[in-house]
Amino acid sequence: MSNAIETRHLRKLYRRRREPDLLALEDLDLHVREGDIFGFIGPNGAGKSTTIKILIGLVRPTAGEALLFGEPCGTPASRRHLGYLPETAVYHEFMAVGELLDVHARLAGVAPAQRKTRCQEALEIVHLEDRAQTLLRELSKGMRQRFGIAQALIARPPLLVLDEPTSGLDPLAQLDVKNIILRLKGQGITIFFSSHQLTDVELICDQIGILHRGRMLRCGNLRELLEDSAEVEVRFRGGPAQLPGREVLEQGADRVVRLPREESDALVDHLREAGAHLVGLQVARRSLEQAFFEITRTSGEVEER
Amino acid sequence: MSPVLVLARLYITESMRRQLHLITLFLAVLMLVLPTLFNAFGMTGFDRVTKDVGLTLLSLYAVGMALFLGSTALPGDLEHRTLHPLLARPISRMQYLLGKFLGYLVVMGLSMAVLGLALLTALAVLGTRADPAVLIPVALSVLEAGVLGAFCLFASTFCSPALAGVLGCFLYIVGGIPQTFITFFLSSGSTQVQGAVVRAIRLFMPHFDVLHLKDPIVHGEAVPEAYLLAAVAYGLVWMLLFLLLADWSFERRDL
Ligand SMILES: Nc1ncnc2c1ncn2[C@@H]1O[C@H](COP(=O)(O)OP(=O)(O)OP(=O)(O)O)[C@@H](O)[C@H]1O
Ligand SMILES: [Mg+2]
């Protein structure tokens, strides 16, 4: 399968007036396959929005190249197959929802005969169909965010780039967005989005990239990101309530200890000698959240050293 | 519809709804019509004064709006990030600028048409024969607003709106010094260096005085058609040049 998004050695140095220049991205290689959902995560200031803006053509890369469906980013042609939700956009506040959506449909090149139905369709997807006459300034923050999603969908683009699509949404609307994304994937649409909602990313993404201080620390599917955990979990009943140098968690009637894989034999021997009843032993599966903390933390230490 | 027209229409709709424009326009019309009320004494030559004051007012209005709208249009979009979703469409930044600028020109043109009509009405009330020649300086004011607005747009791509406005002001004042003044200054006791400096500065500026035809019109002098055509072409060339510069500078910016 070909790539919807591709970047090679992407680098961005922001020139600043009062402070030294800031390296926001360094040697970023991205490959997003057509039809995939790609989740882009990383701490605040990692460079997610910078990457996305380079893809859209709002920010010029300092070096390297970025392609959308093989077209160099930054050209009108590269944006022909694109829907974009900006991070913190304010829309023309004196326009009505339906009017502004129509403007977007025209700019996106939607055929005149289809414009009305497309607008209607996009509004229905985000549940704003009864707000078509409302001025944008009179929408709530979450509604504005939903308008943003609607304008991104207006031309039924094969690629959606969403910068924190669930920010500012209530839990129900967040679920909505998640379902919208999954439904669009069902239609073969490629979705690239950044998010701080790690549980959502974990649930819906085919590929996940972890960005930190402008570098891609890890990139792969969920299994690849989580499996390199070198820890096991030993679950037992009875026996010692405390172990020297280890934390014993009480989970109901069970006691649980986490420890490096190579030390598990010794611990099991010790527990058996102490009269404990072994209930289970398994590779400790991390959540994406844990993996995220560990990966970004270790990288931080590496850089500080 | 081409993207430029779509964006121009967006600009026009928005600026109408913001009402700032409508309110300033209303005030300007009021100021044009007010002098007619003072003619209760039947002063002779009052229509000429009205013409003079009215045309000056129109020109000031055009310049003020050009400075304000030209230097705030783009920074406003940047600050509120209203341009991000639009620029994510398959359009170029040039088309974006042109759309905005076209919308601005239309709004200015319509406002000046309203003011021109108000002036003609005021003159009619004063009992003078309606002389369509007063519309010539009005039209040239629109062109002047185009040149100045394009410059402010260009300046606002690399500096703050306030600074862009100040630069626009400077350009308008220095560029608008009548050529006769300059010639007089250069011929009367200025050093060679002074002369060179003045010439160099003026070389890189549009000479707005070329577009100032108020005085001959007020005094009923005829303006040759050839001069008018040349003046319009002159204004258009500068306007285009500033738009190209604006695009050149805007293209390189991170948004
Ligand atoms: N226009 C700019 N000029 C200078 N520095 C910038 C600019 N935009 C972003 N930066 C810097 O680049 C870095 C990356 O910012 P970016 O917005 O890409 O982060 P992010 O990953 O999207 O963060 P968040 O999760 O908070 O949205 C930050 O250190 C930020 O200060
Ligand atoms: Mg961001």
d(CA A231, CA A190): 35
Tell me the pLDDT band of B1, cut-offs 50, 70 and 90.
low
- Mean pLDDT lowest among A32-41, B70-79, B89-98, B128-137: B128-137
At CA A274, angle to CA A269 and CA A278, rounded to 5? 60
Q: Report pLDDT for B199.
A: 78
> Do the beta carbons of residue A208 and residue A41 sit within 8 Å?
yes
The two three-digit tokens of residue B150, written as one number: 């394009």
In-domain check, residue A291: no
Q: A55: CA distance to ligand 2 center in Å?
A: 14
In-domain check, residue A304: no
CATH of the domain at A235: 3.30.70
In-domain check, residue A297: no
The two three-digit tokens of residue B7, written as one number: 């964006």
> What is the phi/psi pair of residue B126, to 5°?
-75, -5
Give me chain A's average pLDDT, please.
88
CA Rg value for chain A? 24
> Do the beta carbons of residue B89 and residue A108 sit within 8 Å?
yes
Residues A156 and A79 in one domain: yes
Residues A7 and A122 in one domain: yes
Residues A61 and A135 in one domain: yes
At CA B35, angle to CA B111 and CA B128, rounded to 5? 85
Give the mutation candidate from B13, B89, B159 for the A interface (greatest A CB count, under 10 A). B89
Kindly tell me if the per-residue pLDDT of A173 is higher than 90. no
In-domain check, residue A244: yes
Q: What is the pTM of this model?
A: 0.86
> What is the phi/psi pair of residue A301, to 5°?
-65, -40
In-domain check, residue A298: no
3-state secondary structure B121-177: HHHHHCCCCCCHHHHHHHHHHHHHHHHHHHHHHHHHCCCCHHHHHHHHHHHHHHHCC
Kindly tell me if the per-residue pLDDT of A127 is higher than 50. yes
- Mean pLDDT lowest among A34-48, B199-213, B221-235: B199-213
Tell me the pLDDT band of B12, cut-offs 50, 70 and 90.
very high
Does the beta carbon of A195 sit less than 6 angstroms from any atom of ligand 1?
Answer: no
Stretch (H or E) spanning A14: strand A3-14
Residues A189 and A108 in one domain: yes
List CB contacts (< 8 A) between A151 and chain B: 85
The two three-digit tokens of residue A234, written as one number: 């030993």
Residues A115 and A254 in one domain: no
Question: Which residue in the set B17, B18, B82 is minimally distant from A90, CB to CB?
Answer: B82
CB within 8 Å of A131: residues ≥ 6 apart: A97, A123, A139, A143
Residues A191 and A148 in one domain: yes
Tell me the pLDDT band of A304, cut-offs 50, 70 and 90.
very low
List CB contacts (< 8 A) between A90 and chain B: 80-82
Count of C-beta atoms within a 10 Å radius of residue B221: 10
Residues A142 and A256 in one domain: no
Q: Report pLDDT for A189.
A: 93
Q: A42: CA distance to ligand 1 center in Å?
A: 12
List CB contacts (< 8 A) between A150 and chain B: none
Mean pLDDT calculated for residue range A147-171: 91
Residues A211 and A270 in one domain: no
> Chain A residues within 8 A (CB-CB) of chain B?
14, 53, 56-60, 76-77, 79-80, 82-84, 86, 88-92, 94-95, 99, 103-104, 106-109, 148, 151
Tokens 């007036």 correspond to what residue?
A17
At CA A11, angle to CA A67 and CA B245, rounded to 5? 80
> What is the phi/psi pair of residue A173, to 5°?
-70, -35
In-domain check, residue A171: yes
Residues A255 and A236 in one domain: yes
Question: Does A107 sit within 8 Å of B1, measured CB to CB?
Answer: no
AA identity, residue A144? R
> Do the beta carbons of residue A81 and residue A159 sit within 8 Å?
yes
Q: Give A182-236 pLDDT, tens digit per residue.
A: 988 898 899 999 999 888 888 889 999 999 989 998 888 887 777 666 678 899 9
Residues A180 and A280 in one domain: no
Q: In what order do the strands lie in the sheet with A248-251?
A: A248-251, A254-260, A231-237, A277-283
AA identity, residue A156? R
- Can you tell me the ipTM of this complex? 0.86
Residue B155 class from Cβ within 10 Å (0-12 exposed, 13-18 middle, 19+ buried)?
Answer: buried
Q: Count of domains in chain A?
A: 2
- Out of A196, A221, A246, pick the residue that ends a domain: A221
Q: Does B14 contact A at CB distance below 8 Å? A: yes
Domain boundaries, position A268: 231-284
With pLDDT > 70 as the criterion, what percentage of chain A qualifies?
A: 96
- Out of A195, A221, A247, pick the residue that ends a domain: A221
Residues A52 and A129 in one domain: yes
Q: Report pLDDT for A305.
A: 37
DSSP strands (E only) in A195-230 = 207-212, 215-220
CATH of the domain at A142: 3.40.50.300
What is the DSSP code string of B8-31?
HHHHHHHHHHH-HHHHHHHHHHHH
Residues A90 and A109 in one domain: yes
Whole-angstrom CA distances from B181 to A51, B17, B140, B209 are 55, 43, 21, 11
Tell me the pLDDT band of B44, cut-offs 50, 70 and 90.
low
In-domain check, residue A235: yes
In-domain check, residue A279: yes
